């Protein structure tokens, strides 16, 4: 009968070895390449990286400066509408204003229209999480268990669709562009769709399944600050309604900074606008709905072109320039230290040579 123990080895028994197997992998004998860093290799790396970053930085900055852009602040020019909108009891009253401007030169190529907001902070954590991604996917969920509060349901229990603070604060000014040619006024054709990312339009946002969109949103109500329900956001295009509306999708991608711009429209290149926007007099006609006075905000309309590196944003080019300058300076500093140490080493060798 075997003697029962606690699993400890008895006298005379061999202790199990804790050493790894005698293999090339476990004994770290696999062939490997180990770079031999000398002063030439190190300095060459620093100077090559610095030259590359400086070259790319210069190209990006020159590219960003070649973007044609015009920005118009209409906060003060629509001050009467702004005062009307500050009173919440006037939510159902329409207010329109016009802003005239002149293009001295043609803007050739694809022209994009953006709306810009200043001093509007979207990076507050409670604001960012105030949404229901499951609801935006068209699922039937209990939004009471989501992070949408306090924009979840009305006092009578009717759920909001979409819910949350992000959706409720959606930018809802309507901006139209007109070209004043001689004595005629021509409306510039603008594209509402095709402005959002493909992944957002086809993956992250979906409408509830139903035989029509109005019945899909039956039993729900629009957010308090909206003037229309979700299924009527675009009355001209049924495919651009509900949670897959381009303006709504773009707004739901919150910004990290207080001053930002979002893509609003693209100029449709037809007829006299086939090459872009010709020089001349233009007018923005704005249906003012989005109040900004209480948080000391500003609103802009931006017309801009794009280049191979994107829009008018020199940040990436400046970042490359700073990195390239730092790498080049580091290379010069290391070169100076190396020459100084080599000179000192040569001096000591000469001092020792008579004794030997």
CA nearest neighbour of 161 among 180, 139, 177: 139
With beta carbons less than 8 A apart as the criterion, state whether 78 and 97 touch: yes
Question: Residue 24 — very low, low, confident or very high, per pLDDT cuts 50/70/90?
Answer: confident
3-class DSSP state of 281: strand
CA nearest neighbour of 176 among 163, 166, 186: 186
Give how many domains the chain has, as a whole number: 1
Q: 123-173: per-residue pLDDT in tens?
A: 999 999 999 999 999 998 888 888 998 899 998 889 999 999 999 999 999
Backbone torsions φ then ψ of 249, nearest 5 degrees = -60, -45
Average pLDDT over residues 47-75: 93
- Residue 38 CB-half CA count within 13 A: 1
Average pLDDT over residues 226-254: 93
Q: What's the pTM value of the predicted model, to 2 decimals?
A: 0.80
In the chain, % of residues over pLDDT 70? 92
- Structural domain contains residue 263: yes
Q: What is the pLDDT of residue 4?
A: 52
What is the domain extent for residue 254?
68-129+167-210+236-313
Strands 96-103 and 276-277, how do they pair? Answer: unpaired
- Structural domain contains residue 264: yes
Question: Residue 12 — very low, low, confident or very high, per pLDDT cuts 50/70/90?
Answer: low
- Structural domain contains residue 172: yes
- Structural domain contains residue 293: yes
- Structural domain contains residue 61: no
- Structural domain contains residue 271: yes
Which has more pLDDT, 90 or 23? 23
Cα angle, residue 131 at apex, residues 126 and 136 outer, rounded to 5°: 165
Q: 83-138: per-residue pLDDT in tens?
A: 888 877 777 788 999 999 999 999 998 999 999 999 999 999 999 999 999 999 99
Average pLDDT over residues 24-45: 86
- Structural domain contains residue 113: yes
Q: What is the pLDDT of residue 79?
A: 87
Backbone torsions φ then ψ of 267, nearest 5 degrees = -70, 130
Which has more pLDDT, 207 or 353? 207
> What is the Cα gyration radius of the chain?
32
- Structural domain contains residue 95: yes
């Amino acid at each position: 009968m075997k003697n029962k123990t606690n699993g400890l080895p008895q006298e005379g028994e061999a202790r199990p070895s804790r050493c790894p197997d005698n293999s090339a992998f476990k004994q770290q004998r696999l062939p490997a390449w180990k770079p031999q860093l000398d002063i030439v290799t190190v300095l060459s790396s620093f100077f090559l990286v610095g030259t590359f970053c400086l070259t790319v930085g210069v190209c990006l900055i020159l590219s960003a400066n070649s973007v044609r852009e015009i920005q118009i602040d209409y906060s003060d020019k629509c001050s009467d509408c702004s005062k009307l909108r500050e009173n919440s009891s006037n939510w159902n009253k329409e207010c329109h204003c016009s802003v005239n401007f002149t293009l001295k030169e043609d803007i050739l190529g694809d022209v994009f229209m953006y709306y810009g907001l200043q001093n509007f902070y979207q990076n507050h954590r409670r604001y960012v999480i105030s949404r229901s991604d499951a609801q935006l996917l068209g699922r039937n969920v209990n939004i009471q268990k989501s992070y949408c509060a306090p924009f979840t349901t009305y006092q009578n229990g009717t759920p909001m669709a979409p819910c949350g603070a992000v959706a409720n604060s959606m930018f809802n000014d309507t901006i139209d562009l007109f070209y004043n040619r001689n004595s005629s006024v021509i409306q510039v054709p603008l594209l509402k769709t095709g402005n959002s990312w493909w992944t957002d339009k086809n993956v992250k946002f979906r409408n509830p399944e139903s035989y029509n969109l109005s019945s899909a949103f039956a039993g729900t109500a629009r957010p308090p600050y909206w003037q229309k329900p979700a299924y009527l956001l675009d009355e001209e295009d049924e495919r651009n309604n509900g949670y897959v509306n381009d303006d709504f999708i773009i707004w739901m991608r919150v910004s990290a900074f207080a001053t930002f711009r979002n893509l609003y429209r693209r100029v449709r290149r037809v007829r006299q606008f086939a090459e872009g926007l010709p020089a001349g007099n233009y007018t923005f006609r704005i249906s003012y709905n989005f109040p900004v006075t209480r948080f000391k905000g500003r609103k802009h309309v931006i017309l801009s072109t794009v280049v191979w590196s994107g829009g008018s944003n020199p940040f990436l080019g400046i970042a490359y320039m700073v990195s390239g300058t730092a790498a080049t300076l580091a290379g010069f500093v290391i070169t100076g230290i190396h020459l100084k140490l080599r000179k000192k080493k040569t001096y000591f060798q000469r001092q020792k040579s008579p004794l030997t």
